[in-house]
Amino acid sequence: MSCLLMLFGAISVVASDFFCPNLQTISAKLQLSESMAGVTVLALGNGSPDLFSTFSAMDTGAGSLAIGELIGAAFFIVAVVAGCMGIIKPFQSQRVTFMRDASFLTGAIMIITWIVYHQGIYWYHSVLLIAYYLCYVSVVVFGAYSKNIDNEINDYSQKPEQISPKSDIDETTHLLYQGGW
């Protein structure tokens, strides 16, 4: 048991010292928001070992092991990782973001439950799951895009005297505000 705890400790050091800074660098270079980075880059980095271990389990004919590993890993992340984050460093999340993510997670669980109930995974189930994930990413992208547009509209809706002196004001700025913006 102590060896297992030591391995978890070693993984946490590697993740905090190498994985997180690299994720932040990649996200900054791609100009991704935290939400977008979490849904795409972090999910890919976090899920790729699961992908390869599932392929390995499927090659050996252990389909139930593959499904059990995926469901177990998802449950571990939701229950243990989120619980430990709350203990170590409490945080708050925006209600809209949390409800969006929780709703999509619930939908994915319902799809998996439906697939397991029918006791087989076929190509159309795979297409459905991949399409569902792409739909989720699209919703996150659209949310980030609409938030950026709202921020830009709010920035343009300020009166010229409300703009801080440090901002870039030129002769066209006043023309924009005279047009009703």
Among 143, 145, 147, 181, which Cα is nearest to 162's?
181
Of 51, 38, 164, the C-alpha closest to 94 is 38
The closest of 142, 140, 147, 128 to 39, measured between CA atoms, is 140
Residue 99 has pLDDT above 80, yes or no: yes
Decide if 35 contacts 145 (C-beta within 8 A): no
Which pLDDT does position 131 carry in this prediction? Answer: 95
pLDDT at residue 148 greater than cutoff 80: no
In this prediction, residue 170 carries a pLDDT of: 40
Q: Where residue 31 falls among pLDDT bands split at 50, 70, 90?
A: confident
Question: Can you tell me the distance from the alpha carbon of 109 to that of 44, in angstroms, rounded to the nearest whole number?
Answer: 19
Residue 153 scores a pLDDT above 50? yes
Q: What is the pLDDT of residue 176?
A: 40
pLDDT confidence of 181, banded at 50, 70, 90? very low
Categorize the per-residue pLDDT at 171 as very low, low, confident or very high, splitting at 50, 70 and 90: very low
Residues 114-128: what's their mean pLDDT? Answer: 86
Tell me: pLDDT of 11 over 90: no
Confidence band of 179 (pLDDT split at 50, 70, 90):
very low
The C-alpha atoms of residue 177 and residue 159 are separated, in whole angstroms, by 7
Q: What is the mean pLDDT of residues 80-101?
A: 80
For residues 6-22, give the mean pLDDT. 73
Q: CB–CB of 45/23 below 8 Å?
A: yes
Q: Higher model confidence: residue 163 or residue 1?
A: 1
Output the average pLDDT for the chain: 75
pLDDT at position 23: 74
The tokens for 90 are 């409490």
pLDDT at 155: 60
pTM: 0.66
Quote the radius of gyration of the chain (alpha carbons, Å).
22
